[in-house]
Structure 1
Amino acid sequence: MFLGTFEPKLDDKGRLILPAKYRDQLADGMVITRGQERCLYVFEVDEFMQMQEQARKAPLSNKEARNYLRVFLSGAVDQEPDRQGRISIPANLRAYAGLDRDLAVIGAGNRVEIWDLAAWNTFLEEQEAAFADRDDEIIPGLL
Structure 2
Amino acid sequence: MGFFLGTYTPRLDDKGRLILPAKFRAQLAEGLVLTRGQERCLYVFPLTEFQRLHERAQSAPVSNKQARDYLRVLLSGAHDDVPDKQGRLNIPAELRSYAGLTRDVAVIGTGARAEIWDAAAWEAYLAEQVDTYSETSEEVFPGAL
Q: TM-score range by the shorter chain?
A: over 0.9
* 1:27-76 per-position Cα deviation (integer Å, ceiling 9, x unaligned): 10100000000000000011000000001111111111111100100100
2:94 is equivalent to residue 96 of structure 1:
no
How far does residue 137 in structure 1 lie from its aligned partner after superposition? 3.0
Q: TM-score, normalised by structure 1?
A: 0.97
SS at 2:67 equivalent: helix
SS at 2:116 equivalent: strand
- What code does the residue aligned with 1:62 have? N
Counterpart residue number, 2:10:
8
1:45-64 to 2 correspondence within 5 Å?
A: 45-64=47-66
- CA RMSD after TM alignment: 0.9
1:1-143 to 2 correspondence within 5 Å?
A: 1-143=3-145
Q: How many pairs were matched up?
A: 143
Hey, what's the Cα distance between the residues in 1 that align with 2:140 and 2:124? 22
Q: TM-score, normalised by structure 2?
A: 0.96
How far does residue 18 in structure 1 lie from its aligned partner after superposition? 0.3
Structure 2, gaps ≥5 residues long? none
Contact preservation (8 Å) 2:42, 2:99: yes
- What code does the residue aligned with 1:123 have? Y
- The percent of aligned pairs where both chains have the same amino acid is 63
Hey, what's the Cα distance between the residues in 2 that align with 1:69 and 1:134? 29
Runs of at least 4 residues of structure 1 off by over 4 A? Answer: none
SS at 1:42 equivalent: strand
SS at 1:84 equivalent: coil
SS at 1:46 equivalent: helix
SS at 2:48 equivalent: helix
- What code does the residue aligned with 1:138 have? V
SS at 1:105 equivalent: strand
Contact preservation (8 Å) 2:138, 2:144: no
Structure 1, gaps ≥5 residues long? none
